[in-house]
Structure 1
Amino acid sequence: MVLEVEKKPNRSKAALFLALDQGGHSTRAVVFDVTGELVARTRVKIRDSVPRPGWVEQNAEELTASLAKVLADTAHLLGPDVSRLYAAGLATQRSNVVCWDRESGEALTSAISWQDRRAESWIRQFARWSDKVHEITGLYLSAHYGAGKLRWCLDHSAAAKQALQEGRLACGPLASFLAWRLLDSRPYLVDPANAARTLLWSLQRKDWDTQLLDIFGIPRRLLPRCVQSDHTFGTVKVGNTPVKFRCMTGDQAAALYVAGPPDSATAFVNIGTGAFVQRATGDRVVHVPGLLSGIALHTAINTTYTLEGTVNGAGSALDWLQATEPEPNLFVNLDGWLADAVDPPLFLNGIAGLGAPWWLGNFSSRFIGGKSVQDRAVAIIESIVFLITVNLKRMAVLEPRIHSIMVTGGLAALDGLCQRLADLNGVRVIRPAQYEATARGLAWLLSSGQATWALKDVQSFTPDNGGKLHDRFRRWEHAMDRAMFFAGEM
Structure 2
Amino acid sequence: MNYIIAIDQSTSATKAMLFTDKCEMLKRVNVAHKQYYPKPGWVEHDPEEIYANVLKATAELLKDENPAENTYSLAITNQRETVVVWDKATGKPVCNAVVWQCMRGADICNRLKAEGYGKVVQEKSGLLIDPFFSASGAKWILDNVDGARRRADRGELLMGTIDSWLVWKLSEGRSHVTDYTNASRTMLMNIHTMQWDDELLDIFTIPRTMLPELLPCDGVFGETTLGGIFAEPIKIAGVIGDSHGALTGQMCFEAGLGKATYGTGSSVMVNIGENASPAPDGLVTSIGLAACGKVFYAFEGNIHCTGATLKWLEEQLKMIGSPADVEAEAASVADSGGVYLVPAFAGLGAPWWNDEVKGAVFGLTLGTTRAHFLRAALESIAYQVNDLVKAMTVKAGVALKEIRVDGGPTKNKLLMQFQADCLRVPVNCSDIEEASALGAVIMNGLSRKVWASFEEVARLRKGKWRLEAQDNEERMNVLVAGWHKAVKQLLK
Shared fold by TM > 0.5? yes
Task: Check 1:403–1:237 CA distance in 2 against 1; reply closer, same or farther (3 A cut).
Answer: same
Q: Whole-Å Cα distance in 1 between the matches of residues 14 and 126 of structure 2?
A: 29
Which residue in the other structure is 2:465 paired with? 459
Q: Whole-Å Cα distance in 1 between the matches of residues 40 and 374 of structure 2?
A: 22
Give the letter aligned to residue 336 of structure 1.
D
Secondary structure at 1:445 match in 2? helix
Which residue in the other structure is 1:123 paired with? 109
Q: Whole-Å Cα distance in 2 between the matches of residues 328 and 178 of structure 1?
A: 45
Which residue in the other structure is 1:171 paired with? 159
Does the CA contact (< 8 Å) of 1:19 and 1:89 recur in 2?
yes
Task: Check 1:130–1:268 CA distance in 2 against 1; reply closer, same or farther (3 A cut).
Answer: same
Which residue in the other structure is 1:62 paired with? 49
Task: Check 1:151–1:400 CA distance in 2 against 1; reply closer, same or farther (3 A cut).
Answer: closer
Q: Whole-Å Cα distance in 1 between the matches of residues 253 and 424 of structure 2?
A: 21
**Structure 2, gaps ≥5 residues long:** 331-335, 363-370
Which residue in the other structure is 2:324 paired with? 335
Give the letter aligned to residue 325 of structure 2.
G
Which residue in the other structure is 2:93 paired with? 107
Which residue in the other structure is 2:351 paired with? 357
Q: Choose from 39, 47, 58 the match for 2:26.
A: 39
Which residue in the other structure is 1:253 paired with? 244
Task: Check 1:383–1:223 CA distance in 2 against 1; reply closer, same or farther (3 A cut).
Answer: farther
Describe how 1:62-461 pairs up with structure 2 within 5 A: 62-80=49-67, 83-85=70-72, 87-127=73-113, 128-158=116-146, 160=148, 164=152, 168-238=156-226, 239-241=229-231, 242-260=233-251, 262-271=253-262, 275-290=266-281, 291-299=283-291, 301-311=292-302, 313=304, 333-337=322-326, 339-341=328-330, 345-348=341-344, 350=346, 356-358=350-352, 363-364=355-356, 366-368=358-360, 385-397=382-394, 398=396, 401-409=399-407, 412=410, 415=413, 417-448=415-446, 450-451=450-451, 453=457, 454-461=460-467
Does the CA contact (< 8 Å) of 2:81 and 2:100 recur in 1?
yes
Task: Check 1:336–1:307 CA distance in 2 against 1; reply closer, same or farther (3 A cut).
Answer: same
How many percent of aligned residue pairs carry the same amino acid?
26
Task: Check 1:319–1:48 CA distance in 2 against 1; reply closer, same or farther (3 A cut).
Answer: farther
Task: Check 1:479–1:326 CA distance in 2 against 1; reply closer, same or farther (3 A cut).
Answer: closer
Of residues 396-405 and 61-70 in structure 1, the stretch that sits farther from structure 2 once superposed is: 396-405
Give me the TM-score of the superposition, normalised by structure 1: 0.80
Q: Which has the larger radius of gyration?
A: 2
Does the CA contact (< 8 Å) of 2:98 and 2:137 recur in 1?
yes
Give the letter aligned to residue 340 of structure 1.
E
Q: Whole-Å Cα distance in 2 between the matches of residues 141 and 426 of structure 1?
A: 34
User: Deviation at 1:272?
Assistant: 5.1
Residues 265-303 of structure 1 deviation map (CA, whole Å, 9 limit, x = unaligned) = 32222345763322323332222432422213335x522
Give the letter aligned to residue 61 of structure 1.
E
Does the CA contact (< 8 Å) of 1:266 and 1:405 recur in 2?
yes
**Structure 1, gaps ≥5 residues long:** 1-12, 486-490
Task: Check 1:313–1:259 CA distance in 2 against 1; reply closer, same or farther (3 A cut).
Answer: closer
Q: Whole-Å Cα distance in 2 between the matches of residues 278 and 416 of structure 1?
A: 23
Does the CA contact (< 8 Å) of 1:348 and 1:480 recur in 2?
no
Give the letter aligned to residue 111 of structure 1.
A
User: Deviation at 1:224?
Assistant: 2.2
Give me the TM-score of the superposition, normalised by structure 2: 0.79
Does the CA contact (< 8 Å) of 1:274 and 1:310 recur in 2?
no
Of residues 190-199 and 408-417 in structure 1, the stretch that sits farther from structure 2 once superposed is: 408-417
Over the aligned positions, Cα root-mean-square deviation in angstroms equals: 3.9
User: Deviation at 1:124?
Assistant: 2.5
User: Deviation at 1:228?
Assistant: 3.1
Q: Whole-Å Cα distance in 2 between the matches of residues 60 and 315 of structure 1?
A: 32
Of residues 148-157 and 432-441 in structure 1, the stretch that sits farther from structure 2 once superposed is: 148-157
Does the CA contact (< 8 Å) of 2:340 and 2:483 recur in 1?
no
Does the CA contact (< 8 Å) of 2:82 and 2:162 recur in 1?
yes
Residues 62-91 of structure 1 deviation map (CA, whole Å, 9 limit, x = unaligned) = 322221122112211433577222x21111
User: Deviation at 1:176?
Assistant: 1.1
User: Deviation at 1:410?
Assistant: 5.8
Residues 325-373 of structure 1 deviation map (CA, whole Å, 9 limit, x = unaligned) = 789999x92232355356684311547xx6543556xx24633259xxx
Give the letter aligned to residue 360 of structure 2.
I
